[in-house]
Amino acid sequence: MHLLSLTTDYGTSEYYLAYLKAKLLAQVPQLQMLDISHDIPMEDLGMAAYQLRAAIQAFPPNAMHLVCVNEFLFPDLGVLIARKKDQWIIAPNNGFMHLLYEEYDYGPVTHSGGMGSAERTEAIAQIVYGLCHQYGYIESLQAPAQLITKYNINPIVSQDQIRTRIYHIDHFGNLILNVHRELFDRVRAERDFAVEFRKFTYSGGLKDHLAQVEIGELACSFNHGDHMVISAYQDRAVDLLDVRKEETVNISFNPSAS
């Protein structure tokens, strides 16, 4: 089985996605495709990285992941292929690869891609065919002459505080904060904590699931991508807290405990 995930900013109201899938199937008829999201805000590489990073751990070994977001930012730099653990990632050389992971187990290497939309789609189809059927294909590729890098806006960390932002508001009105579990656990050191918004402070601790709170109450947890999430049982946290994407949030830790 050859499995390919798709993450794009194409939307679903135009023909672009169908054209891409048809070209891929023409090269690899037995290809199975799974859509992660086609509603990535136009050119939002950070959101594409967030969505793929949250989903990728559920995929079987040797799955491929194609990302087409802001793909013509540097059209002359081709398409990158890299491997992280047992997953293949395919994306334009526009900074996405570095936003997704800072280091890879193999690559990135580059496949020259066309300057136009049709030529780029043909190049992507050739890459997928090469990964599926061509022995030695990936070894025949070279490292890019120029690798574009982009950086996330990281939280500001002190001994007793993490200063971060609302990174994303999902379909259910949950607030995803730009804080990973590893960073949170390291700074927390098993101390009590509070999440401070503009008009409200949450101090209810971490929850395993929403059923641990009453209807309309807030809960703090970590999602599949290990980002901190503030949600509300049978309600929308974004409305209860009256906040917006990119607002600053402080996570404060009890300084009296060690």
Smallest CA-to-CA distance from 46 within 89, 97, 10, 88 is with 97
Does a structural domain hold residue 224?
yes
Q: Which two tokens stand for residue 173?
A: 């009105």
Regarding whether 116 and 169 lie in a shared domain, the answer is no
Smallest CA-to-CA distance from 4 within 65, 77, 87 is with 65
Range of the domain at 192: 156-253
CATH number of the structural domain spanning residue 202:
2.40.30.90
Regarding whether 121 and 190 lie in a shared domain, the answer is no
Report the domain count for the chain. 2
Calculate the dihedral angle through the C-alpha atoms of 228, 35, 46, 71, rounding to the nearest 10 degrees.
Answer: 180
Regarding whether 228 and 182 lie in a shared domain, the answer is yes
Residue 227's φ and ψ, nearest 5 degrees, are -90, 145
Regarding whether 68 and 178 lie in a shared domain, the answer is no
Regarding whether 126 and 37 lie in a shared domain, the answer is yes
Looking at residue 151, its pLDDT comes to 83
What is the distance between the alpha carbons of residues 34 and 4, in angstroms, rounded to a whole number? 6
Regarding whether 122 and 16 lie in a shared domain, the answer is yes
Regarding whether 19 and 116 lie in a shared domain, the answer is yes
Looking at residue 72, its pLDDT comes to 81
Looking at residue 8, its pLDDT comes to 96
Which three-class secondary structure state does DSSP give residue 105?
Answer: coil
Does a structural domain hold residue 54?
yes
Regarding whether 130 and 8 lie in a shared domain, the answer is yes
Regarding whether 133 and 72 lie in a shared domain, the answer is yes
Does a structural domain hold residue 196?
yes
224 in Cβ contact with 58 (< 8 Å) = yes
Looking at residue 172, its pLDDT comes to 95
Regarding whether 102 and 35 lie in a shared domain, the answer is yes
7 in Cβ contact with 36 (< 8 Å) = yes
CATH number of the structural domain spanning residue 102:
3.40.50.10790
DSSP element (H, E) containing 79: strand 79-84
What is the distance between the alpha carbons of residues 60 and 31, in angstroms, rounded to a whole number? 14
Give the CB-side neighbour count of residue 162, counting CA atoms within 13 A: 24
Does a structural domain hold residue 230?
yes
Regarding whether 223 and 169 lie in a shared domain, the answer is yes
Does a structural domain hold residue 149?
no
What is the distance between the alpha carbons of residues 9 and 42, in angstroms, rounded to a whole number? 5
Looking at residue 2, its pLDDT comes to 95
Does a structural domain hold residue 64?
yes
* pLDDT tens, N- to C-terminus, the chain (258 residues): 799 999 999 999 999 999 999 999 999 999 999 999 999 998 899 999 999 999 999 999 999 999 999 988 787 888 999 999 999 999 999 999 999 998 999 999 999 876 678 888 999 999 999 999 988 999 999 999 899 988 888 899 999 999 999 999 999 999 999 999 999 999 999 999 999 999 999 999 999 988 899 999 999 999 998 999 999 999 999 999 999 999 999 999 998 654
Regarding whether 25 and 113 lie in a shared domain, the answer is yes
Looking at residue 111, its pLDDT comes to 92
Looking at residue 256, its pLDDT comes to 60
Does a structural domain hold residue 258?
no
